[in-house]
A = this chain, B = another copy of it.
Amino acid sequence: MEKAILGAPFVCQIAMIVRDAQKAASRFAELLNVPVPQVVTANADGSDTVTYMGRPTEGRVKLAFFHLDNVVVEFIEPTEDPTTWKDFLAEKGPGVHHIAFKAKNRMLETAAELERFGYPLIQHGDKYAYLESTEELGVILELLDID
């Protein structure tokens, strides 16, 4: 069988943009009766090389993760750094930003395939890449360079 561009048919993360990640985490934890996860600031140390719309950005962001039985649910609170997260919130308000697929060791190559497929690469860091597929699929696709 020909290899699928998105690899295994497995959505590893669903990520929501919210105004307040701490509040979202606290409320979602209550609904699931699980501990409230810590809200962390990604790229606080600037070690990740982030590019948004072709330009470098610090790309810091506040995140809270829930490891559910079948999928990771992520809440994203943008910072003032220029990012797809900040623009999404400004343009659409709170909403689901992306669903993620694993692309270990083939993230940029898969991103290039998706660009040829018609979905532009809008932002990427060392371990993630976002492809703009919203007009057709209703959601941004994320590729993760993880197992």
Q: Which residues of A contact B (CB under 8 A)?
A: 1-6, 8-11, 14, 16-20, 23-24, 27-28, 30-34, 66, 68-71, 73, 75, 92-97, 99, 114, 117, 134-139
Contacts and interface: CB of A to CB of B under 8 A. Distances in A.
Contacts of A2: 33
B92 A95 contact: yes
B27 A137 contact: yes
Number of copies: 2
A138 B17 contact: yes
Contacts of A16: 137-139
Among all A-B residue pairs, the 6 with the closest Cβ atoms: A16-B138, A96-B96, A4-B33, A94-B138, A9-B68, A70-B70
Given A32-B6, A70-B71, A94 B135 contact: yes
A100 to B, nearest CB: 11
A14 B11 contact: yes
A107 to B, nearest CB: 15
Contact of A24 (B3, B11, B117, B137): B137
B11 A136 contact: no
A116 to B, nearest CB: 12
A58 to B, nearest CB: 23
Given A14-B96, A92-B92, 14 more contacts: A3-B33, A5-B33, A6-B31, A6-B32, A9-B34, A11-B73, A16-B137, A24-B137, A27-B137, A30-B117, A75-B137, A93-B135, A95-B96, A97-B138
